[in-house]
Amino acid sequence: MSARLTNKRILLGVTGGIAAYKSAELIRRLRDAGAEVQVVMTAAAQEFITPLTLQALSGNPVHTSLLDPAAEAAMGHIELARWADLILIAPASADAIARITQGIANDLLTTLWLAAAGKKAIAPAMNQQMWADAATQANLGVLRERGVAVFGPASGLQACGDVGAGRLLEAVELAECCAEQFNSGLLQGREIIITAGPTREALDPVRYMSNHSSGKMGFALAEACVEAGARVTLIAGPVHLPTPDRVHRVDVVCARDMLAASEEAVAQALSRAGHINTVFIATAAVADYRPAQVADQKIKKGEKDDTLDITLIRNPDIVATIAGLNPRPLVMGFAAETQSVENYATSKLFRKKLDMIACNDVSRSDIGFQSDDNAMTVFWPEQDHLGRHELAKASKHEIARQLTHLLAQRLGARA
């Protein structure tokens, strides 16, 4: 099976060693699998392979210095560290391994390593004696304990003529190892239905009412749920986004179609997996109202008409309808608010009988609607209080992955 890294941001650290040439092939494999790649090279790595080669292959400027004002102005090192979903050092020399174990930050790569919040991995490559040395093995033990994934090394003939452990894994294997970092299996056996994007409510054959929802959060969630092992149906309003791998997508236009598609998908999921294993997630920004009448022909403006009256009627509440089913799936809603975010969100949680609600403040321009980033607080009712979890500002993909963990927890609590 080929590796799947769609939309993953990988920061590849290349350190000095003969295996550095393999990083060129690795970048290709990571990009073929859908990842975005930024490369950081140590000074020693540049003795083995040029930044120009890795820049051409990654499609991004290669980062080499902590003190380069131009690079800092383009993307500061802390920003770069935060950008990464995964930081992988491949090849990781014995020296780099020792430095990251100690928390030394004396070059760009080790500084980024310390500042990175996402997943961390190393692919060691060195002489077999250096690999076997007690110092290297002790460092590896410490890193593993801290949750760092160690890919390889493989055994075999080494560049120096020795035979033994210490060869860098092949690029294909490394790309596969990276993909595995994102496959948690947390939602294995679950059926998940997600609504996403805006709805469009027709006024006449050429006009409609809608909103600015991009659908990015729902699509990111669909992708994260599939990666976590779930079977996912994504019911999408009109958006300009590609369908994530292995996601079953149903396109709809208006709220009533979205409701019908949701009811059908939920009924099928319930019959396949049972209510305990079914989840409905409503990220869609459904229009609350629609024009009471859709004109058959384009509405004409009269010469003297300065105003036009349109009567709107209420659309069905999709998430509340699904939450009203019996038996019902676990239901999660979203609340985009511009004020009193928490109060409105929690009152929606109870009024719509949801199991969870994720709320964010769309008055902030750096997160929410059209943005690639989001930050939210998730609430759920516990026996005698309200459970709550804050998700700090991160890419919608990262937020989505964190939501899969919360979902898995709530599903566990429900069983």
Residues at the interface with ligand C5P (CB under 6 A): 195, 255, 282, 284, 286, 288, 315, 317-319, 333-335, 348
Q: Which is nearer to ligand C5P, 131 or 334 (CB)?
A: 334
**Cβ-based neighbours of 303, under 8 Å, separated by 6 or more:** none
Beta strands in 296-415 (DSSP E): 312-314, 330-337, 356-361, 373-381, 386-395
Nearer to ligand C5P by Cβ, of 109 and 319: the residue is 319
Distance CA 43, CA 15 (A): 8
Helix (H) or strand (E) holding 131: helix 128-132
In angstroms, what is the minimal distance from the CB of 286 to ligand C5P? Answer: 4
Terminus-to-terminus CA distance in the chain, angstroms?
33
User: Least distance in Å: CB of 367 to ligand C5P?
Assistant: 17
What is the chain's length?
415
CB-nearer residue toward ligand C5P: 20 or 282: 282
**Least spacing, CB of residue 238 vs ligand C5P, in Å:** 15
Cα distance between residue 198 and residue 206, in whole Å: 17
Single-letter code of the amino acid located at 145: E
CA distance 103 to 110: 8
Residue 178 known to be catalytic: no
**What's the one-letter identity of residue 220?**
A
Query: Got the DSSP string for 94-123?
Result: HHHHHHHHHT---SHHHHHHHH--SEEEEE
**CB-side neighbour CA atoms (13 Å) of 383:** 1
Pick the catalytic residue: 160, 177, 178, 225? 160
Q: Which is nearer to ligand C5P, 41 or 359 (CB)?
A: 359
Beta bridge mates, 189: none
Q: Is the bond preceding 291 in cis, omega lying within 30 degrees of 0?
A: no
Identity of the residue, 282 or 407, whose beta carbon is nearer to ligand C5P in the bound complex: 282
Q: Whole-number minimum distance, CB 318 to ligand C5P, in Å?
A: 3
Q: Residues near 155 by Cβ (< 8 Å), separated by ≥ 6?
A: 128, 163, 164, 165, 166, 167
Extract long-range pairs of 358-362: CB within 8 Å, 24+ residues apart: 358/332, 358/333, 358/334, 358/391, 358/403, 359/334, 359/335, 360/334, 360/335, 360/336, 361/337, 362/336, 362/337, 362/338
Compute the least distance from the CB of residue 255 to ligand C5P, in Å. 6
Q: Which is nearer to ligand C5P, 227 or 317 (CB)?
A: 317
- Residue 348 CB, shortest distance to ligand C5P, in Å, is 5
Measured from the CB atom, the residue of 181 and 214 that comes closer to ligand C5P is 214
Q: Per the omega criterion (within 30 degrees of 0), is the bond before 316 cis? A: no
Residues ≥6 apart with Cβ < 8 Å to 35: 5, 6, 7, 8, 9, 10, 178
CB of 381 to ligand C5P, least distance (A): 16
Could you list the active site residues?
160
